[in-house]
Structure 1
Amino acid sequence: MPYTKTHKNSTRERILESSFRLFAMKGFEGVTIDGLMNNCGLTRGAFYAHFKSKAELYSEALKFRASSTKLANLKPEGISNKQWLSLLLNNYLSLEHVKGELSLSCPLAFLATDINMQDTAIKEAYADVYYGMNTAIMEYASSYCDCDEQDIFSVTAMMIGAVAIARTLQSQDSIENLLAACRREAGIKLGGI
């Protein structure tokens, strides 16, 4: 009896989630299809039922994780755009996010050091996610402050870079100082949040 569409989608999401975690920890080259599928409790054959290559999986895992972040979610009712951006900024530039403790870690920060070594299709997927992040923040920020595209680009680059750099630092004080400085600077650019 063939698997249902729901089962197939559930399996695909399980592979995407597991692969993102492995790619974030080990990089593209450090993850094998066999290792990934073993981590999911699935066979190598199941991989090819969903993906043509590891490179396709990498792109899809990046987009899947991005679609699961708080920024991709709709703003809750009863909260202003400014309050929502403040919450997003504080969560993004948090020690929990740096340590990967937030269940929805940003693929832009967690894959930043690995992306440059990938093929054009993967780089394009990364760029699309980055532009989507900028668009979402601009939509919220433009409703209450006079910021432009360059302001948003500088804020998102700082946020992503801060988390990527903080993940390499060993001193918790240094990490907390970096995150606090970036929260302050991003807050200024985003209209004093």
Structure 2
Amino acid sequence: MPYTETHKNKTREKILDSSFRLFAIKGFEGVTIDDLMSNCGLTRGGFYAHFTSKAELYREALKFRACSTKLAGLKPEDTTNKQWLSLLLNTYLSLEHVKGERSLTCPLAFLATDINMQDNAIKTAYADVYYGMNTAIMEYASSYCDCDEQDILSVTAMMIGAVAIARTLQNQDSIESLLAACRREAGIKLGGI
């Protein structure tokens, strides 16, 4: 009896989630299809029911994770745009995010050093996620402050770069100082949040 569409979708999501975490730790070249499938408790044969190549999985895992982040989520109705953006900024530039807590790992920061070595389709997917982040932040910020596209570009680049750099640092005080400085500067650009 064939698997249901629901089962197939859940399996695909399990592969995407598990693979993103492995790609974020080891990079594209650091893992094999066998590693990726074993990590989520499945066999290599199951891979081809969902993906045609490791590059396709990488691209889809990047987009899947981006859609799973807080920024992609809906703002609670009882929260102002300014409050929501402040919460997002503080969550993004947090020690928990740097440590890669499962619900926080942003593909833009966690794959930043690996993307440049990938094919154009993967680079395009990464760029699309980046532009989506800018659009979302601009929508929230423009409702309460006088910021422009340049402000948003500098804030998102700083946020992504801060997390990517903080992940390489060994000293927790240095990490916390970097994150605090970037929260302060981003908050100023985003209307004093």
State the TM-score, normalized to the length of structure 1. Answer: 0.99
Q: Which residue of 1 aligns with 2:104?
A: 104
Aligned equivalents of 1:170 and 1:48: distance in 2? 39
Aligned match of 2:66: 66
Confirm or deny: 8 A CA contact 1:82 1:140 kept in the other structure.
yes
Residue in structure 2 matched with residue 113 of structure 1 by the alignment: 113
Aligned partners of 1:64 and 1:26: how far apart in 2?
A: 18
Displacement after TM superposition at 1:40 (Å) = 1.2
Amino acid at match of 1:80: T
In structure 1, what is the Cα distance between the partners aligned to 2:49 and 2:102? 30
* Offset, 1:33: 0.2
Aligned amino acid, residue 98 of structure 1: V
- Counterpart for residue 79 of structure 2: 79
Q: Tell me the distance in 1 between the aligned counterparts of 2:147 and 2:104.
A: 27
- Give the whole-Å Cα distance in 2 for the aligned partners of 1:165 and 1:123: 20
Q: Secondary structure of the equivalent of 1:72?
A: coil
2:91 corresponds in structure 1 to 91
Contact 2:92/2:104 (<8 A) preserved: no
Aligned to 1:10: 10
Name the counterpart of 2:57: 57
Given the alignment of the two structures, is residue 192 of structure 1 paired with residue 192 of structure 2, yes or no? yes
Give 5+ residue unaligned stretches, structure 2: none
Q: Determine if the alignment matches structure 1 residue 141 to structure 2 residue 141.
A: yes
Partner of residue 153, structure 2: 153
Q: Which residue is equivalent to 2:33?
A: 33
User: What per-residue deviation string (whole Å, max 9, x for no partner) do you get for residues 16-71 of structure 1?
Assistant: 00100000000000010011111111111110000010000000000000000000
1:131 paired residue number:
131
Query: How much does 1:124 deviate?
Result: 0.2
- Does the aligned pair in 2 maintain the 1:65–1:104 contact within 8 Å? no
Q: Which SS does the other structure have where 1:101 is aligned?
A: coil
Runs of 4+ in 1 over 4 A off after TM superposition: none
Residue 187 (structure 1) shift: 0.1
The equivalent of 2:22 in structure 1 is 22
Aligned-partner Cα distance in 2 for 1:179–1:18: 27
Percent of pairs with identical residues: 88
Q: CA deviation at 1:102?
A: 4.7
Query: How many Å apart are 1:104 and its aligned residue?
Result: 2.9
List alignment gaps of at least 5 residues for structure 1.
none
Aligned length: 193
Separation in 2, partners of 1:178, 1:169: 10
- Cα RMSD between the aligned structures? 0.6
